[in-house]
Amino acid sequence: MATLVLGSIVTYKNDHYVALGYDGNLVTIIAPHKSQRKLRVKRGNVTVIDIPPLLQVAHTTGDYLVRAHSPRSTIISLTTNRVMNWSNDNGNRREILRKASEIHNEIHNRGAIQPDAFLSQYVKA
């Protein structure tokens, strides 16, 4: 069973969401493909999907969650808990994706399938 951490992909009511926070009882989730609306639901009502969570990337404008391997990735601000609607040529977007790609590549270069110790530097639980 996968562990719930910041950036985990979860299911709730047959749809996919990203976990933005967890206080021990309630999980804050967002469906970036649907809307900016955030939900707070009981932990028992979400199922964590067993895939790596989104990476947390520190940038000068704040911390962001992003999937590293796609130039079309959705970027979620951890300051506002909102999807960033930047154009593909936006400088902040390009820099955040570049940093995410570096983290992703370093993880894979280490040959780790579950690089918990390494990820803990970047992904806050």
pLDDT at 124 > cutoff 90 = no
18 falls in which pLDDT band (50, 70, 90)?
very high
Mean pLDDT (the chain) is 84
- pTM (two decimals): 0.80
pLDDT at 122 > cutoff 80 = no
Task: Say what the pLDDT of residue 1 is.
Answer: 66
108 falls in which pLDDT band (50, 70, 90)?
confident
Task: Say what the pLDDT of residue 123 is.
Answer: 39
When comparing pLDDT for 21 and 112, which is higher? 21
Q: How far apart are CA 41 and CA 118, in angstroms?
A: 29
Which of 67, 63, 46 shows the shortest CA–CA distance to 2? 46
User: Which ranges in the chain belong to alpha helices (H)?
Assistant: 91-109, 116-119
Task: Say what the pLDDT of residue 111 is.
Answer: 63
The angle subtended at Cα 9 by Cα 72 and Cα 36, nearest 5°, is 65
Q: Are 6 and 124 in contact (CB under 8 A)?
A: yes
Q: How far apart are CA 6 and CA 19, in angstroms?
A: 6
pLDDT digits (tens, 9 = 90+) for 58-87: 999 999 999 877 767 889 999 999 999 999
End-to-end CA distance of the chain: 16
> Please, which residues have CB within 8 angstroms of residue 39's CB and are 6 or more apart in sequence?
12, 17, 28, 29, 30
Mean pLDDT of 22-45: 91
